[in-house]
Amino acid sequence: MNKKSVIAAVGLICIGIIFGAVLVSGLRTVDVGFAGNRQQVKLETQSGSTKNSLDLRSSSDAFVAIAKKLTPAVVGVNVVTKAKEGSRDFNDFFHFFGPDFKMPQPHPEQGSGSGVIITPTGYILTNNHVVENADKNGIEVRLNDTRRFPGKVVGTDPTTDLAVVKIEASDLPSAALGNSDNLEVGQWVLAIGNPFGYLNSTVTAGIVSYVGRDIGMKRDQYGIEDFIQTDAAINPGNSGGALVNMNGEVVGINTAIATRTGGYEGYGFAIPMNLAKTVAEDLINTGKVRRGYLGVQIQNVDATTAKASGLDKAEGVLVGKVQDGSAAGAAGIKDGDIILSVDGKAVNAANELQSIIARKHPGDVVSLMVYRDGKKSEKKVTLKERDAKEETVASADEGDNESSEESASGRTVKLDQLGFSVRNLTMEVKEKAKVENGAQVAEVKTFSEAYNRGLQRDDVIVEADRKKISSASDLKRVVESHKPGDAIMLRVKDQSGNSRFVAVQIPKEQG
């Protein structure tokens, strides 16, 4: 290549560099997106706020040590249940349709679960659903060292899904029980149990995914759900097994899984040990649970409910109904109060309050911080024992003349801004819902504010902003006294007479 060619090539390269620089600088002036001046943002690399590094070898050694320590204290529980009418096995099916026609007979069924040895003398904590309906002499406990013992049910508590079983043995390896109140999301935990009845002494690892989870499995209105959620693998047969922290302490009793297939799909749930310990002690000492009760129906507080109540933020638990003759009523707690804390511990979910009270006994005194009408006050409550016949009693406020007159007219009022309409009460509705005043929801528009807040057709609104509602026009006046963005607290009763609060917010105009 001659000298002129080299000079030409270098020149072309220089021109290209200059052209590229100009082009790039020109592109910087182009505003792609929204019109107007664009704020210059500079992103810098920052170090994380946590300085801890994961020592894999140390973590592995800890898992091994915990597994060695706890596995001997986790047992298998085989259960033969009582025969049920209508059940039949595969052979019965063939007999039923075969030549030797035979009606199928009820047969016992066999299942399995897990349990945790909590005393060296043979007391074992497990789930109620593992041992319920067990046949006489139908429980067998399988130790980690392969020994087998007949088990006897000491007591059960369906409300928490816990049970205690006893075997006649001594010097057994018992588990250390930890403080579940100290658990935090993100902590490592191990699940130990006997999945599927034959994978004995299985250990899986995961983290605490959530604390205080309510998964909607209550068997009755007094059911208590305050689960620890974990992603440690839990499968059928793990029920009653141990959830263990990194100190080698049992912090939960594995109980349920979220699944569409019947097997593990990523989420398991355990009963907190602090609740389980209280239940176990009662069952061992008295054969039954002596649980204190406030005597209230409660519901969660969200941002709209807080706004309607005058709170600056969503906190506490709303009292929907105070039972007649209850401990709460005796202490001066009223419908619509918001319980902010129990014995100085903040409560921000209904199941959290239930769990704390469930650890108490009748006669125990608890201190509740209560919010009402913009003020906080402390209430000392002496807990009572729940009456098995306790029922919710609807209020019997007297209606006024306007209610009677408009009921006869059957007038309906539309509240378009909230997406529902109401009509005056008929005598039939009053009797069915056990109310003397109110306005009945005639229609709820799908996806409206009322719909999204859970208001339903045929609900009866008896109060709005703590004012008695005697007619449809009463409710309209209350709603129209508010401006867009305001929240209104409605007290509602369904057709069974059950009471609850529904907070609705008047939507702001879209502009």
239 noted as active-site residue: yes
User: What is the separation of C-alpha 506 from the centre of its chain, rounded to a whole number of angstroms?
Assistant: 29
Q: How far apart are CA 22 and CA 10, in angstroms?
A: 19
The owner of tokens 């005056």 is 424
Q: Which of 334, 347, 342, 343 is nearest to 375 (CA)?
A: 334
Q: How far apart are CA 438 and CA 250, in angstroms?
A: 51
CB atoms within 10 A of CB 503: 20
Q: Which residues contact 451 (CB under 8 A, 6 or more apart)?
A: 419, 420, 444, 445
Tell me the DSSP string of 219-250. Answer: SSTT----EEEE-S---TT-TT-EEE-TTS-E
Bridge partner list, 439: 424, 461
Strands 439-444 and 345-346: unpaired
Residue tagged active-site, from 239, 309, 355, 421: 239
Residue 446: what residue type? T
Q: For residues 26, 28, 32 and 36, what is the CA-based torsion angle, rounded to 10 degrees?
A: -100
The helix/strand/coil state of 475 is helix
Residue tagged active-site, from 112, 157, 161, 214: 161
47 noted as active-site residue: no
Q: Which of 402, 407, 404, 400 is nearest to 422 (CA)?
A: 407
129 noted as active-site residue: yes
Catalytic residues, by residue number, are 129, 161, 239
